[in-house]
Amino acid sequence: MKHLFNGILFAAAIIAGSCSSTNNSAEQTTDTSAESTAPQVKVPLFNADSAYSYTAQQVAFGPRTPGSASQLKCANWMETHLKMYTDTVYRQETTVIAGDNKTKLRCINLIGVINPQAPRRILLLAHWDSRPWADRDIANKNTPIDAADDGASGVAVLIELANRIRQNPLTNKDIGIDILLTDVEDYGKSEWGDNSYALGTQYWARNPHVPGYKAEGGILLDMVGGKNARFLLESISRQFAGNLQRDVWSAATTAGFSSFFVYDEGGQITDDHVPVNEIMHIPTIDIICLPADSPTGFPLHWHTHNDNMSVIDKSTLNAVGQTLLQFIYSR
């Protein structure tokens, strides 16, 4: 995954917001304007303990590489949970060709649909496969990684998000949510070119689960569970979906997570949001951890065997999950 092309960091004003919550409440109530006569927005609380457990359950299957037994077990596990928390589930199984133009890879995409009749759609997506090589490590470079952060964390947040929405139905019945768990994102290599990444999303973009599928916007989660995470304004996201990016960062500020969602430029990332923007023409952003002090631009555990449960932090999972709930319930 993910080549990083650095941009110039810039400072931006933090959008003011307010939120109140109590430890024994099932909802977070937000009033974004003291002068407003509009009803307050009631936002359910995200359960980071559950998201952490979902991350660990995926990792326990072993590396979810194409063609492995772990891949099939995890796909079945995700399908079971999507059926519990969404209204309709689609399973795409196909074969894609790796960037070497010869290796055939089993690819399994899963799509969970909430409020399928709603005319206004929001697409949420994350990849779930494990990188088959630890190419950034100093040892065992040719063995697959656990991909706790770079894979499992995004899926865990989205499954728990679906659970929260199931328990707290959206009051705006015009809004529907589509959760895409996409496979074979991380089988690429730089020498194979950018199109060797995000193979599952490329397939879905050309073969959507619903013919003619459209959404108002999409939000990609990638590496959203690590300790001390920092999410910057990724440049391709701003190019294709600048308004959506601003709205999500504003939701993070309103929910109290501006220390995670930082108003700095994060460079251009080759990731699953690219085919959604370029093929589907759905304005889509990438929420991805981009530390300031990393020599690669990514977390130090990126593409190494250190990407395991030891790097996962419930506070980061909570920041991302609660921000998405704030954004969705404010629509």
For 29-76, how does the pLDDT look when each residue is reduced to its tens digit (9 = 90+)? Answer: 554 444 444 567 899 999 999 999 999 999 999 999 999 999 999 999
Cα separation, 311 vs 199, in Å, equals 26
Question: Which ranges in 92-234 belong to alpha helices (H)?
Answer: 154-167, 199-206
Please list the alpha-helical segments (H only) found in 24-130: 48-60, 69-85
pLDDT at 12 over 50: no
How far is the CA of 20 from the CAs of 44, 86, 181, 307, in angstroms? 12, 28, 32, 34
The gap between the terminal CA atoms of the chain, to the nearest Å, is 31
* 16 — pLDDT class (breaks 50, 70, 90): very low
Would you say residue 292 has pLDDT above 90?
no
CA 37/CA 128 separation, integer angstroms? 43
Number of other CB atoms surrounding residue 2 within 10 Å: 25
pLDDT band for position 330 (cuts 50, 70, 90): very high
Q: By the 8 A CB rule, do 60 and 52 touch?
A: no
Give the model confidence (pLDDT) of 301-328 as tens digits: 999 999 999 999 999 999 999 999 999 9
Q: Are strands 4-5 and 27-30 parallel, antiparallel or unpaired?
A: unpaired
pLDDT of the residue at 10: 33
| pLDDT mean over 122-126 | 99
Q: Average pLDDT for residues 77-84, to the nearest whole number? A: 99
What the block records as the tokens of 253 is 């500020």
Among 17-21, 141-145, 230-234, the least confident range: 17-21
Class of 48-330 in CATH? alpha beta
Average pLDDT of the residues of the chain: 91
CA triplet 244, 226, 286: central angle to 5 degrees? 20
- Residue 36 has what pLDDT? 43
Domain parsing of the chain, residue ranges: 48-330
Report residue 172 as tokens: 């705006």
